[in-house]
């Protein structure tokens, strides 16, 4: 369903993109089946360990540089092949890579940023699948930080970030003091060959 008060380009939030049983099974499979690692982030000239665990997964040629670190893709886990195929078909997107993130509890988070690295195809949507604990996803305009929105991303939901969104908006996944369980987020991206 479109989110009514969000300016263009409009986000779409599909709360039950995966049926609950499928979402449960995918969460369990990825929780143990992904080689989770702690990525390093460069912030204001300092290097810090990201407050979450991640893994860059994709086709062999889909290497991805973010926060000035280059990640070579890990192969697709079996459990993600059907998901990727369904996304490619439904959204007519290539989705040759996915950043998997594991937020172990409410202390794990991600600060303000946009997914606008040069190798991300700006004509393609970024498709964000959430599993596990519900977490708040915050957005703010790049040119006016007072213009904000937030969406609660539920288990089995898909958030469609359309082409153009990253250029106008930043997003974040804030910490929460609520006692909550783990969450996995998968952001499917289309990586272009840079030359
Ligand atoms: O966990 C989320 O919902 C968002 C993650 C994110 O924005 C990212 O990894 O680039
Ligand atoms: Mn992001």
How confident is the model over 162-191, as pLDDT tens digits? Answer: 999 999 999 999 999 999 999 999 999 999
Mutate to test the pocket of ligand 1, among 30, 171, 191 (most ligand atoms within 8 A of CB): 171
Residue range 96-107: average pLDDT? 98
Q: Report the pLDDT value the prediction gives residue 4, as an integer from 0 to 100.
A: 46
**Does residue 175 have a cis bond before it (omega within 30 degrees)?**
no
Between the CA of 193 and the centroid of ligand 1 the distance, in Å, is 23
Between the CA of 172 and the centroid of ligand 2 the distance, in Å, is 7
Q: CA–CA separation, 29 vs 46, rounded Å?
A: 35
* pTM for the structure as a whole: 0.94
> Which residues does ligand 1 sit against, CB inside 6 Å?
99, 101, 110, 115, 128, 137, 153, 171, 173, 185, 187
Domains annotated on the chain, with CATH: 12-189 (2.60.120.590)
Q: CA–CA separation, 152 vs 15, rounded Å?
A: 10
């Amino acid at each position: 369903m479109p989110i009514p008060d969000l300016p263009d380009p409009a986000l779409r939030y599909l709360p039950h993109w995966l049926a609950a049983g499928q979402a449960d099974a995918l969460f369990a499979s990825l929780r143990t089946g992904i080689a989770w690692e702690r990525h390093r982030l460069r912030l204001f000239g300092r290097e810090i360990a990201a407050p979450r665990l991640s893994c860059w997964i994709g086709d062999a040629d889909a290497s991805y540089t973010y926060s000035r670190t280059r990640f070579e893709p890990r192969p697709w886990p079996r459990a993600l092949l059907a998901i990727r195929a369904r996304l490619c078909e439904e959204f007519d997107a290539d989705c040759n890579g996915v950043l998997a993130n594991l937020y172990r509890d409410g202390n794990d988070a991600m600060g303000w940023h946009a997914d606008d690295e040069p190798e991300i195809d700006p004509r393609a949507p970024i498709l964000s699948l959430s599993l596990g604990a519900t977490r708040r996803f915050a957005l703010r305009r790049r040119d006016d930080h007072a213009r904000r929105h937030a969406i609660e991303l539920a288990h089995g939901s898909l958030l469609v970030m359309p082409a153009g969104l990253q250029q106008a908006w930043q997003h974040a996944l804030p910490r929460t003091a609520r006692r909550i369980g783990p969450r996995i987020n998968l952001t499917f991206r289309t990586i272009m060959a840079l030359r």
